[in-house]
Structure 1
Amino acid sequence: MEVAGRGDALVATEPGQAVAVLVADCAPVLLADPRGRAVAAVHAGWRGLAAGVVPAAVEVLAGEAGSHPADLEAWVGPCIRGCCYEVGPEVAEALRRAVGPAPSAQGLPGYLRAGWGDRFWLDVAEAARQALLRSGLRHEHLWVDGRCTACHPSLFFSYRRDGARSGRMAGMIALMEG
């Protein structure tokens, strides 16, 4: 079942099904109902986050599983972090509207850090984490891989670092039988 866009989020509800998303700086977000009724894979880049893909996936997964969002578990995989991803004010504002303000000490959301002029440094993993929390997931059911794809060329592909020749990584989750 497709949740948003053209495969930005996919949900599996039948035992033996697997769902996956391909990423090269965007965050793969994998969701699971701990009772084994449904799983989801979400492609969470800034556009998907701004379009509300995370809350949409949480809502569909919880509905399909007959669960509450607080019962779901999530993993946010390696993605580009605030050390390497500079964005303009239009991206920052789109994310503030969709993900929320959750201000830090500097008055910015925790996923944004001021850059030069009107620029910002965006931490995609933190934006995904905030979107999951605002969607009802609990801190103790949420794991975030802290590695930046652009900082680790021997481990990860990065479109921002390598351009169009970059490869892709898959975030995959399966609903196991039995």
Structure 2
Amino acid sequence: MHMQHGVIGAGPQFPSKFPEDEEPAFYGHQKFILEDPTDQSVEGAVGVFYGELGPKVRNIVDMVVTELFHNAQGHRSHQQGVYHPWPEITVTLGWTLDGDFKYPLVIVQDRNIGRPELRVDRPQRGLVRVISHSPKSGWRRSNNGNRVWAMVDFQPR
């Protein structure tokens, strides 16, 4: 779990770096994979795949997916004339278990090879916002870039 601590009345203190960690395993065989998605296809996929969730919770999941997707879009590595056999960005939606609870699991794969930045100067955007709605989140390098993931909390904040 992410440690958010501080002085009563002060804002939360976030870690200085986004945690590097393996993503949890998917629960079951249901997964929804979007290759080189658009804002509209991401929003539509969240609405369909997590349709069983109430609107408030689905909005939280949509916000986390959108923040991770926009973070990947902002770090695209455009290489003219270079062929890559894999998509520039892949969004995977699914479920994971943590103890006795089932949580939405979101993974965004991109071609960026740099460590994801945790911008604490912008708490309402990006990975800081993702952490505030995720009991567990992180990233890891893969063969073709980075995989950033978040297990989404059901509680509105």
| Shorter-chain TM-score range | under 0.3
- Higher helix proportion: 1
